[in-house]
C-alpha cells in the first residue's frame, strides 16, 4: 500500500491552479468567456463613469483586442508585493480593486480572477496603458512576464486607457476560435445596458459596427422583437437606493408561439441561467397581476393564475446592479444572492401594480392573455390523460406536449434555446410532435454518475419528459416513440448535439439500443437559384448546389441558428416526416464509440484530444 506523506502534497502557486484545472475557472469549449472577462473590465470602467468608448477587435491571427479610454490599469508598485499594479492584476489570482466600493460602486469582475485567468490560458498577452502622460507596455507568455513594464512613449494628460490583446492557448480549449455572433450580441447588449458608452467591434473583412443606445432597454426590446407585443411601449422603469439599482423593460407576445427575448444581467454580466434576480421579478409581476385581477373582478370562477401563466409569453431585459454580486461559479451564468429575490419581488410588485392601475386598458388586455393561459392549462390537465401521472415527478413546465400516445408514433424534439423552441412549437404537428426547449449547452454528463446526473435541471427535465430514469434497463413508461435532438447546424450546435448524444449513450443506453434516439439535421444554408429554393446541410452540399447553378447567380443565406428560420422553413427542412433528414443513433460499434466520446469529453484527456486532432483532424467531415 503506497505511503501518504507530507512530501506527496502538491502546492500550486501563481496561475498554476488555472492551468491545472481550467474548467474550474472558465468555459473550455471556446475562448468566448475569456473575451467576456476582458470586456467586463472595460465595462466596469464605463459603469463607474470613467470610460466612454470601448473597441473590440478580432484579428485574422486569432487574437482578440479590447481597448477603452478609462483610467488605465495601475503602473505604480504595489506597496506589499513591490511589483507594478498591472503585473499583479495579470499574474495573481484574487487580486483586484473590486472587493470594496472604493473604486467601483458596481462591478461584474468581483472575484479578482477573471483577467488573470485570461493570462494563464493564453499563449501570449500584451497590455498597453496610457496614464499620467505616458504610454506603458508589458507582455506575457503562458502567464509569465516576458517583457517587464516600461514606458514606451508620451501621450496627452487626458489620453488615458487600457488595451489588452491576447492569443488563446489551444491546449486548454476545444477550439480557439471566437464566435463573432456571440461577440456582436454581447457588445450590443452591453451598449444597451450602459447607455453612456459607445462600443465598437472590428471583424476581419467587415465594416466596423458601433452601438450606442441612449434610450436604453425599451428601445433594445422593441428593436429585437418583430411581432406585436402588449404593452407597446413596454413596461419599463428604473429603481435605485444607493446600494443596488435595477432597470428593466417587459412586454408580452400578443400571439402564442412567437419568438421571445429573455435576457438578464448582473452588473452588466450576462446571466443566461437566470437566478434570484429573475425569480424576484417573476414573483413580483405575478403578485401584481393577481391583485389587479382581483381588484377588478376579472378572474372567472375557479380560475387561479399561476406564475407560469404570467411567464408564458413574456419578453424582458433585466439589468440588476449590486455592490455584492454573488454568482454560482466563476463563469457567472447564474446569480445566487438570496436577498435579491425578496427585494426585487417587492419592487416589481409595487411598481407594476402602480403601472397597471394607470394603464387599465393594457392591464385588462394582459389579464385576458394570462386568464386564457390558465384556462388552457386547466383544460389540458383535465382532458389529456397522459398528463395525469399517478406517481413520479410532474412533467416539465416548458414542455409543449403532443396529443397522441407513444404507440401512435409520437415524437419529442429536444430543441436548443427558447427562441428556436418558439419556432419549433409553430412548425410542429401538435398531434404527434412535442417540444422541450433546452437552455444552451447541457451538462457534460460523460463522467457524472447516474445518481448525480439528475442534479442538472436540464437533464432532469429530459428524464421527466421521456418518462425514463437514467440507467434504467426497462422502457416501461416511455412516453415517445422517437426522441429527436434538434440543434443549430453550426459548431456550437454540433457541440450541444454531441453532449446530448453522450447523455443518451451513457445514461439511457436502452433507448439507443432500441432505436428511439435520433438526430435532426437542419440545414446551414438556403440557396435561391432563380425561382428554385434549395437547402444545404454544410459547405460540401453548398458547393455542389452552387456548381449546378450554371449561369444563374444564386442567392445564399446562412442561418445563424434555428431561431432565424421561420416556422414554415423549419417544418419543411427539419420536422415534417416527408421532407426532413433524421439520423438514427445506433450502437453498431459501441466499444469504438465509447473510446471516441471518452477522448472528446473526458476532462482529463485534453492532451490526448490535442494529439488526436493534430494527427487526424484533417479527416473531419463536418
Q: Which residues pair with 253 in a beta bridge?
A: 229
Task: Clarify whether 616 is annotated catalytic.
Answer: no
Task: Clarify whether 490 is annotated catalytic.
Answer: yes
CA 468 to chain centre: 27
Sign of the four-CA dihedral 328, 329, 333, 337:
positive
3-class secondary structure per residue, 444-497 = CCCCCCCCCHHHCHHHHHHHHHHCCCCCCCCCCCCCCCEEEEECCCCHHHHHHH
Nearest to 520 by CA among 568, 482, 558, 556: 482
Report CA dihedral (279, 283, 289, 290) to the nearest 10 degrees.
Answer: 150
206 burial via Cβ count (<10 Å: 0-12, 13-18, 19+): exposed
Q: Which of 490, 528, 538, 598 is catalytic?
A: 490
Q: What is the DSSP letter of 402?
A: -
Q: What angle do CA 260, 384, 406 make, to 5 degrees?
A: 90
- Residues near 491 by beta carbon (within 8 Å), at least 6 away in sequence: 175, 177
**Three cell numbers written together for 151:** 514606458
Order of strands, edge to edge, in the sheet holding 269-270?
Answer: 229-240, 244-253, 314-322, 262-266, 269-270
Task: Give Cα separations from 118 to 114, 186, 367, 383 (angstroms).
Answer: 7, 18, 48, 55
Nearest to 492 by CA among 87, 155, 174: 174
Task: Clarify whether 492 is annotated catalytic.
Answer: yes
The neighbour count for residue 604, using CB atoms within 10 Å, is 8
Pairwise CA distance, residues 341 & 264, whole Å: 14
Q: What angle do CA 367, 350, 278 make, to 5 degrees?
A: 80
Nearest to 225 by CA among 252, 189, 205: 252
Pairwise CA distance, residues 278 & 281, whole Å: 5
First to last CA, the chain: 48
For β-strands 64-68 and 209-211, DSSP reports them as unpaired
Nearest to 447 by CA among 224, 345, 565, 598: 598
Helix (H, G, I), strand (E, B) or coil at 254: coil
Q: Which of 312, 416, 458, 461 is catalytic?
A: 416
Write the DSSP assignment of 164-227 as a string of letters: EEEEE-GGGSS-----HHHHHHHHHHHHHHSTT-EEEEE-TTSPPEEE--TT-HHHHHHHH--S
Residues in the chain: 622
Residues with a catalytic annotation lie at 416, 488, 490, 492
Amino acid at each position: 500500500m503506497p505511503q501518504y506523506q507530507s512530501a506527496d502534497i502538491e502546492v500550486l502557486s501563481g496561475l498554476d491552479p488555472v492551468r491545472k484545472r481550467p474548467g474550474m475557472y472558465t468555459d473550455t469549449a471556446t475562448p468566448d468567456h475569456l473575451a467576456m472577462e476582458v470586456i467586463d473590465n472595460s465595462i466596469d470602467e464605463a459603469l463607474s463613469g470613467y470610460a466612454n468608448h470601448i473597441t473590440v477587435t478580432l484579428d485574422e491571427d486569432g487574437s482578440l483586442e479590447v481597448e477603452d479610454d478609462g483610467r488605465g490599469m495601475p503602473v505604480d508598485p504595489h506597496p506589499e508585493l513591490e511589483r507594478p499594479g498591472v503585473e499583479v492584476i495579470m499574474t495573481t489570482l484574487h487580486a483586484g480593486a473590486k472587493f470594496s466600493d472604493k473604486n467601483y460602486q458596481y462591478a461584474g469582475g468581483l472575484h479578482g480572477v477573471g483577467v488573470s485567468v485570461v493570462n494563464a490560458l493564453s499563449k501570449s498577452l500584451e497590455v498597453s496603458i496610457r496614464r499620467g502622460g505616458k504610454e506603458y507596455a508589458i507582455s506575457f507568455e503562458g502567464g509569465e512576464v516576458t517583457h517587464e513594464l516600461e514606458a514606451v512613449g508620451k501621450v496627452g494628460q487626458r489620453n488615458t486607457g487600457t488595451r489588452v490583446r491576447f492569443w488563446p492557448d489551444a491546449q486548454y480549449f476545444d477550439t480557439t476560435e471566437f464566435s463573432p455572433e456571440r461577440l456582436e450580441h454581447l457588445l450590443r447588449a452591453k451598449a444597451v445596458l450602459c447607455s453612456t458608452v459607445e462600443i465598437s467591434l472590428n471583424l476581419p473583412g467587415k465594416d466596423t459596427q458601433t452601438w450606442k443606445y441612449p434610450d436604453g432597454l425599451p428601445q433594445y426590446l422593441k428593436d429585437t422583437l418583430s411581432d406585436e407585443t402588449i404593452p407597446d411601449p413596454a413596461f419599463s422603469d428604473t429603481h435605485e437606493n444607493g446600494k443596488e439599482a435595477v432597470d428593466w423593460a417587459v412586454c408580452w407576445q400578443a400571439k402564442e408561439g412567437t419568438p421571445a427575448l429573455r435576457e438578464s444581467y448582473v452588473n452588466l454580466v450576462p446571466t443566461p441561467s437566470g437566478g434570484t434576480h429573475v425569480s424576484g421579478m417573476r414573483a413580483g409581476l405575478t403578485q401584481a397581476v393577481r391583485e389587479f385581477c382581483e381588484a377588478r373582478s376579472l378572474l372567472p370562477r375557479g380560475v387561479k393564475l399561476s406564475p407560469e401563466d404570467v411567464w408564458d409569453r413574456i419578453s424582458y431585459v433585466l439589468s440588476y446592479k449590486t455592490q455584492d454580486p454573488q454568482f454560482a461559479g466563476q463563469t457567472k451564468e447564474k446569480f445566487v444572492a438570496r436577498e435579491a429575490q425578496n427585494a426585487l419581488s417587492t419592487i416589481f410588485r409595487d411598481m407594476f401594480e402602480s403601472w397597471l392601475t394607470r394603464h387599465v386598458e393594457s392591464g385588462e388586455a394582459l389579464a385576458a392573455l394570462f386568464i386564457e393561459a390558465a384556462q388552457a392549462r386547466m383544460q389540458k390537465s383535465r382532458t389529456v390523460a397522459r398528463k395525469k401521472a399517478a406517481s413520479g415527478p410532474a412533467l416539465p413546465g416548458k414542455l409543449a406536449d403532443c396529443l397522441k400516445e407513444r404507440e401512435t408514433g409520437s415524437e419529442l424534439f429536444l430543441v436548443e434555446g427558447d427562441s428556436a423552441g418558439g419556432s419549433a412549437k409553430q412548425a410542429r404537428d401538435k398531434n404527434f410532435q412535442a417540444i422541450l426547449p433546452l437552455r444552451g449547452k447541457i451538462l457534460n454528463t460523460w463522467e457524472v454518475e447516474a445518481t448525480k446526473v439528475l442534479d442538472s435541471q436540464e437533464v432532469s427535465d429530459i428524464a421527466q419528459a421521456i418518462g425514463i430514469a437514467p440507467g434504467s434497463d426497462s422502457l416501461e413508461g416511455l412516453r415517445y416513440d422517437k426522441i429527436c435532438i434538434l440543434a443549430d447546424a453550426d459548431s456550437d450546435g454540433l457541440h450541444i448535439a454531441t453532449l446530448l448524444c453522450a447523455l443518451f449513450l451513457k445514461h439511457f443506453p436502452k433507448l439507443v439500443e432500441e432505436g428511439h434516439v435520433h438526430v435532426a439535421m437542419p440545414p446551414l444554408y438556403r440557396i435561391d437559384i432563380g425561382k428554385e429554393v434549395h437547402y444545404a446541410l454544410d459547405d460540401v452540399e453548398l458547393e455542389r448546389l452552387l456548381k449546378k447553378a450554371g449561369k444563374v447567380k444564386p442567392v445564399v443565406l446562412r442561418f445563424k441558428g434555428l431561431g432565424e428560420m421561420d416556422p414554415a422553413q423549419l417544418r419543411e427542412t427539419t420536422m415534417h416526416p416527408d421532407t426532413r433528414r433524421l439520423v438514427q443513433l445506433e450502437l453498431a460499434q459501441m466499444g469504438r464509440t465509447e473510446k471516441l466520446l471518452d477522448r472528446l469529453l473526458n476532462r482529463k484527456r485534453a492532451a490526448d484530444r490535442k494529439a488526436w486532432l493534430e494527427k487526424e483532424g484533417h479527416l473531419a467531415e463536418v
